[in-house]
Amino acid sequence: MKATAIANSNIAFVKYWGKKDESLNIPFNPSISMTLDEKISTKTTVEFSEKYESDILILNNEKLSDNKLIRVSNFLDMIRKKSGCIYHAKVISKNTFPTGCGIASSASGFAALAAAAARASGLNLKDEELSKLARMGSGSAARSVYGGFAIWDNESATQIKDETFWPELTDIIAITDDQQKKISSREAMKITVKTSKKYRERLQKVDEKTSLMKQSILAKDFPNMAKLIMSESDNLHECMHDSVPEIEYLNENSYRIKELINEMNKEKPIAAYTFDAGPNAHIITLKKHSSKIKKELLKIFGLRLIESKIGKGIRYTEEHMI
């Protein structure tokens, strides 16, 4: 009972921040994302077998026994319950992006785990069911089930358009800091929900923002989409700053990148910056502008760049790692 799945990470244009239901991972607001390519992906093999006396997790060649194992084990319990499988599992998982480069892996990680574990346990789930399951591991993983653009509201995500719809789009990831985050997004969003007044205002406007974002994607209206992406990222980080204690994920280089993109957008928007719960920038642009932007970014001291195209949803392979 073994299966291997690959899932790519995604970058949110409208961000998920805050849970209506913490135990079920139901978000306060809808979110929209673009799935990234195989450069930013996780490959996971799961084997359920009577030979294992407890769950085993090996992540990027390292055997883990901390909170990460507990989180994965709890997730596997859900699958065992759903499938009737009674065995423990060995999980081997590898990210394609460098470990500790500051790129979050919970979206690709839990999407790949959900797919591999479900299949290994004998479940045959449709994308919507898989998305629900992935969501229980990590909210943003609900969207990584699909290629192209996905929207997540409530229990599961759905696809807006697949990866062939707008192939000119690209994401230049500028790594400004390769350290682990000081505070996890899970903890930080709780603080924002509890303490930020601006967050309450955000919630009143975010549905409209989501529908405008969706329209701009469907119309392939880059300038409008770029403006929306940047104002959304700014709004989220304003809410973080407004939290008590204040949450600051951005560093000096993040702010330099914002200035640079604003400068380059003076005549008309050619790129959009967006930041998740970390200082690394995602610069969404069209391929024709990519080399010019990368050249400018590299003038900022110490940046490392990874470029990702729009990518595919979950897929399976027979190349197991166990």
The residue range among 65-73, 94-102, 136-144, 157-165 that interacts with ligand DP6, by the rule CB under 6 A, is: 136-144
106 is a site residue for ligand DP6 (CB under 6 A) = yes
Task: Look at residues 276, 217, 278 and name the one whose alpha carbon lies nearest to residue 17.
Answer: 276
9: left (phi over 0), alpha (psi -120 to 50) or beta: beta
Q: For residue 129, what is the enclosing H or E element?
A: helix 127-137
| CA atoms of 30 and 10, how far apart (whole Å) | 15
133 is a site residue for ligand DP6 (CB under 6 A) = no
The residue range among 65-73, 132-140, 214-222, 297-305 that interacts with ligand DP6, by the rule CB under 6 A, is: 132-140
* Residue 283 bridge partners (DSSP): 172, 273
Q: In this chain, which of 18, 30, 109, 139 binds ligand DP6, going by CB under 6 A? A: 139
Q: For the segment 179-198, give every residue that binds ligand DP6 (CB under 6 A).
A: 185-186
| Cβ closest to ligand DP6, residue 88 vs residue 214 | 214
| Cβ closest to ligand DP6, residue 80 vs residue 282 | 282
Is residue 286 within 8 A of residue 170, CB to CB? The reply is: yes
First to last CA, the chain: 11
Least separation in angstroms between residue 21's CB and ligand DP6 is 11
Q: For residue 139, what is the enclosing H or E element?
A: none
The residue range among 8-16, 214-222, 255-263, 302-310 that interacts with ligand DP6, by the rule CB under 6 A, is: 8-16
Is residue 278 within 8 A of residue 175, CB to CB? The reply is: no
140 is a site residue for ligand DP6 (CB under 6 A) = yes
Helix (H, G, I), strand (E, B) or coil at 266: coil
Least separation in angstroms between residue 31's CB and ligand DP6 is 4
Least separation in angstroms between residue 178's CB and ligand DP6 is 17
18 is a site residue for ligand DP6 (CB under 6 A) = no
The Cα angle at residue 51 between residues 49 and 54, in degrees rounded to 5: 85
232 is a site residue for ligand DP6 (CB under 6 A) = no
* Residue 156 bridge partners (DSSP): 153
Q: Which amino acid is at 208?
A: E
Q: Which amino acid is at 222?
A: F
31 is a site residue for ligand DP6 (CB under 6 A) = yes
| Cβ closest to ligand DP6, residue 15 vs residue 312 | 15
Q: What is the DSSP string of 27-49?
A: ESS-EEEEE--GGGEEEEEEEEE
Provide the 10 A C-beta neighbour count for residue 20.
12
Least separation in angstroms between residue 245's CB and ligand DP6 is 18
| Cβ closest to ligand DP6, residue 25 vs residue 170 | 25
Is residue 56 within 8 A of residue 63, CB to CB? The reply is: yes
Number of residues that bind ligand DP6 (CB under 6 A): 13
Q: For the segment 250-309, give every residue that binds ligand DP6 (CB under 6 A).
A: 276-277
29 is a site residue for ligand DP6 (CB under 6 A) = no
Least separation in angstroms between residue 165's CB and ligand DP6 is 20
Using CB under 6 A, list all residues that contact ligand DP6.
Answer: 12, 15-16, 25, 31, 106, 138-140, 185-186, 276-277
